[in-house]
Amino acid sequence: MARVPEDPDDPGPARSDSEYEVIGGGVIDDRFPRRDGTAGSEHRLNHQPGIADIFGAAVREAWDDCRTSLRSWWFWLACASALILVWAMAAAVVAFGEANGWFESSLPSAIYILMAGLMAVVSALLGAVWGFRQIARTFLGALFAGFFRGAVFAVPSGILLLVVGAGVGGPIAVAGAAVVVVVLEVVLFGLIGAGARACSARTAAGGALAAALVAFLCLGNVAAMIALLPGTAVMDQASVPINVERDDAGRITAYECVGSLRPVEVAHTERVAWLAASNPVLLFGSIAAEALPREHELAWVLSGLQWAADGPSRDAPCIGGESSDQLAPSVPVALTGLAIQAAVAALVLLPGRWLSSRRLTSVRSGGPQTPGPA
C-alpha cells in the first residue's frame, strides 16, 4: 500500500513513481474525456451492443407492452367481442344465402370457411387499434409486440374454428391457415397503427390517418379493383391451343400453340387484381384455397383472386401465340398482398419515426426555461 503523507508540505522519505498509482488505472474507464480530449476506447469496444443485445432489449420492451395489454380486461373484452361478432356475421350471411338460393345444396362448411375469412378482417382492425395504443417505441419492439398479441388472439380463434370445423366436418387445414393469417394481420396492421400514431403529435390526426389506411386495405382496394375491371377488356391476338392438360378442378395447366393469330376479346384482369391482394379476406382466401380439396364447392371462390391475377390465359390460352412453357410462373397473390401491406406499414413508419424524432428534438432544444426567483 502506498504511503500517504500526513502533512502535504512534508514530502517524507524520497518517493518513487512506482509507489503511487492511479486507482483503477488501465482497468476502469468512466468515459470522461482524457487530457487529450478523447474518451476511453476500451469501454466503447467492450460495451458496444451486439445483435443479441438489441433483440433482447426489443423482446423485453415488447413483452412489457404486451403484458400491459394482458392485464387489461378491455383487451380480453375486445377479443371475445370480435369472436362473437365473427360467428354471428358468418351465420347470418350463410342463412341469408341459403334463403335466397345462393347454394345449390346445403353447405355446412360454408359458415366455417366464412368465419375464418372474417377473422382476418377483425384481426386487422384489432391489430391497428393495438398498434396505435401500444407503448413500444422502437421498430423491433413494435414488431414483437404485435407478434405477441397476434399469438395470444390466435389461440382462442384457432380453438373456436376447430370446434366449428369439427361440428360441420370442414377441413382442419383451413383453421391452420386462418391462425397464420391472424398473426400476420395483427403484426402488419399493428405496425400501420403505430406508424400512423407517430406521424402526428395530435392523436386525432394520427387516428384519422390510421382509419383511412385500414379502410382502404380492408374495403377500398376491392372497390377500386371492381371499378377498374371493365377497362381491362381489350381485343388481343391468340392462336389455337393443342395438347391441353388440366388438373382435377378442370383448370388448364399446360398447352401448346399452333396456327396463325386471330383477334379475340380478353380481359387482362392481372392489371388490376393486385389492388385487392392486400384485402385480409382475399389474402386468407388465397392461402386457404390450397388447404381445401380441389373438389370442394367453395374452392373456386377462394382461388378467384389468384385466377384474376393470372390473367386471361386461364380462359383464352395462346395469347400472342405463347405456349404455357413460355410464360413466367405466376406469383402467389398472398405474397403480393403481404408485400403491399408491409409497404404501407413502411410508408407510415419511416416518416413517423422521423417526425417523432424531430418533435422530440424540438422539445428538448426549445423547452420551457426554469424561471428565476422573483
Closest CA to 309 of 340, 327, 333: 333
Question: What digits encode the pLDDT tens for the residues 125-184?
Answer: 999 999 998 776 788 888 898 999 999 999 999 999 999 988 887 788 899 999 999 999
Give the pLDDT score at 344. 95
Give the pLDDT score at 301. 79
Distances (CA, A) of 308 to 8, 21, 85, 271: 92, 80, 30, 9
Question: What digits encode the pLDDT tens for the residues 184-224?
Answer: 999 999 999 999 998 888 889 989 999 999 999 999 999 99
DSSP string covering 9-39, please?
Answer: T---S---GGG---TTTTT-------TTS--
pLDDT higher than threshold 50 for residue 48: yes
Whether residue 35 is contained in a domain is answered as no
User: Phi and psi for 310 in degrees, rounded to 5?
Assistant: -80, -15
Whether residue 223 is contained in a domain is answered as yes
Number of domains in the chain: 1
Whether residue 31 is contained in a domain is answered as no
Q: Please report how the helices 333-365 and 280-288 are oriented relative to each other, as an axis angle in degrees rounded to 10.
A: 140
Any idea what the Cα angle at residue 139 is, between residues 134 and 144, rounded to 5°?
65
Mean pLDDT across 68-87 = 91
Residue 164 neighbours by CB distance under 10 Å: 21
Whether residue 174 is contained in a domain is answered as yes
User: Phi and psi for 239 in degrees, rounded to 5?
Assistant: -110, -170
**Average pLDDT over the chain, rounded to whole?**
80
Whether residue 101 is contained in a domain is answered as yes
Whether residue 242 is contained in a domain is answered as no
Cβ contact 65:138 at 8 Å:
no
pLDDT higher than threshold 80 for residue 325: no
Whether residue 65 is contained in a domain is answered as yes
Whether residue 307 is contained in a domain is answered as no
Give the pLDDT score at 264. 86
| Boundaries of domain holding 214 | 52-229+336-358
Residue 15 or 56, more confident: 56
